[in-house]
Chain A
């Protein structure tokens, strides 16, 4: 049996209490919601907390509610199943519904939460392995070692941001509400991430992600396309989120394009998005944006399938996503590949 190492467990009933536990845990405490990312990592000796602070008994962190200004407020511990089947998410924030529905498996989505997916540990072929595997090949700098096995001369870690929901939420302009001992702060979801495989979140060690706030997007359309080997279970080896606001003549007013799983953080592509503004989405315009995305994306050789294929698919998947939004329906038959609802 692959057992969990020993730890103490605390089950606070409020965010304030959880913040106090976190402060007292002084660097040896780890927050856990669904546990679907943390427990496998603990079983492999990748994370060794003395204290686990379970967030599942905190009512403030649950559910989805409509805010006073029409925004959707999602508790960090809302499960991915809840998010994916919520009628408001499906109607108004398609990219988020598709991204949440594409995570792993239906069983795991009953456990895993939106906050947990946003805080998902970065992943790497040299990191997500058993202790014995890592020992035999030589430990990497993300755990127990001091070099990067993907780029041995590199001073930094290249583990990959592998969450599906962050690109979707960034494309939709969502914010994250964090609570800590110094009070609360609200930051764009994009600012939650740092380009570093080890220190990948800007959330402080004593802060808790409590809510995700998605602004009303009545005249936007959005989508999420995910590349992976199997239609279930697998983490993305490429995620493409795109959101557009168009005028009544079909000309794009505003656009956001975000890639997942090609870097240590979700990669926002302002130049590719800017290229769409003021234009109708023709095949030519789409190809131009996809070319820009292809040039910028520099995946590393530390995930499933080959590096060259993953880079080439950036162009293909962004084209498919934008064609879908432009209702140039050539690829609609491919939609099922992504496990979409």
Chain B
């Protein structure tokens, strides 16, 4: 049996007919062709599939769209405001915080949620917020530095 579901993804509304067992990760990648969200372990043990739901990081591999009606979903495709990249995207690019790139969308969304809640996090707070995202290239230092740089730029914009 399929369920008729209305999903809000990156400020757009989608009407979908979905089987109950489809995860949000599958719907994003296969039905909406938003392949920025990555599938890693698919068991909640890596954070590659992290998206924001009403601003909070969630694992899309363990979330059912059927429970998300009326909620605002943000994927990495929705991080930039139109043509303007988000401060995190610029900082990640400038500092080489993305090596193979597979963990980057999840890292960036977890970091975005942190900066919205706490615009000037210290290093411990950044590590704590990213503790659910594994980078198998182990490029954590540059990722943390990129979040720090983005935080500085957001809270102290150049005159």
A residues neighboring B (CB under 8 Å) = 1-9, 11, 34-36, 39-40, 43-44, 52, 54, 56-57, 81, 104-108, 110-111, 231-233, 339
Could you mark each residue 24-62 of chain B with 1 if its beta carbon is under 8 Å from any beta carbon of chain A, else 0? 001000000000000100111101001000001111011
Sample of 17 further A-B pairs with CB below 8 A, known A6-B20, A107-B58, A108-B59: A1-B42, A2-B42, A3-B21, A5-B21, A6-B21, A7-B20, A8-B1, A35-B63, A39-B61, A40-B43, A104-B132, A105-B47, A105-B133, A106-B131, A108-B44, A111-B59, A233-B45
With A2-B42, A36-B59, A110-B57 in contact, is A9–B20 under 8 Å at CB?
A: yes
Q: How far is the CB of A328 from chain B (nearest CB, A)?
A: 25
Residue pairs across A and B with Cβ atoms less than 8 A apart, 23 shown, are A1-B39, A2-B42, A3-B21, A3-B26, A4-B21, A6-B19, A6-B20, A9-B3, A9-B20, A35-B64, A39-B23, A54-B64, A104-B132, A105-B47, A105-B132, A106-B57, A106-B129, A107-B57, A107-B110, A108-B59, A108-B132, A231-B131, A233-B134
CB closest residue in chain B, given A336: B124
Q: How far is the CB of B4 from chain A (nearest CB, A)?
A: 13
Residue of A7, A43, A231 contacting most chain B CB atoms (<10 Å): A43
Interface size class of chain B, counting residues whose CB lies under 8 Å from the partner chain: 20 to 34
Is A9 a contact partner of B64 (Cβ separation < 8 A)?
A: yes
B128 at the interface (CB under 8 A from A): yes
Could you mark each residue 99-142 of chain B with 1 if its beta carbon is under 8 Å from any beta carbon of chain A, else 0? 00000000000100000000000000000110111100000000
Q: How far is the CB of B50 from chain A (nearest CB, A)?
A: 6
The 10 closest A-B pairs by CB, nearest first: A105-B132, A107-B132, A9-B20, A232-B131, A4-B21, A2-B42, A40-B43, A107-B57, A39-B62, A110-B56
Contacts of A232 in B (CB 8 A): 131-132
Alpha-carbon distance A107/B57, docked complex (angstroms): 5
Q: How far is the CB of A301 from chain B (nearest CB, A)?
A: 22
Q: How far is the CB of B151 from chain A (nearest CB, A)?
A: 17
Alpha-carbon distance A34/B61, docked complex (angstroms): 12
Is A339 a contact partner of B131 (Cβ separation < 8 A)?
A: yes
**Set A6, A7, A43, A108: member contacting B42, Cβ < 8 A:** A43
Contacts of A36 in B (CB 8 A): 44, 59, 62
Q: How far is the CB of A23 from chain B (nearest CB, A)?
A: 21
With A5-B21, A11-B66, A54-B67 in contact, is A107–B26 under 8 Å at CB?
A: no
Alpha-carbon distance A36/B43, docked complex (angstroms): 8
Is A7 a contact partner of B132 (Cβ separation < 8 A)?
A: no
Contacts of A54 in B (CB 8 A): 64, 66-67
Could you mark each residue 1-15 of chain B with 1 if its beta carbon is under 8 Å from any beta carbon of chain A, else 0? 101000000000000
Contacts of A231 in B (CB 8 A): 131
CB closest residue in chain A, given B66: A9
Q: How far is the CB of A338 from chain B (nearest CB, A)?
A: 13
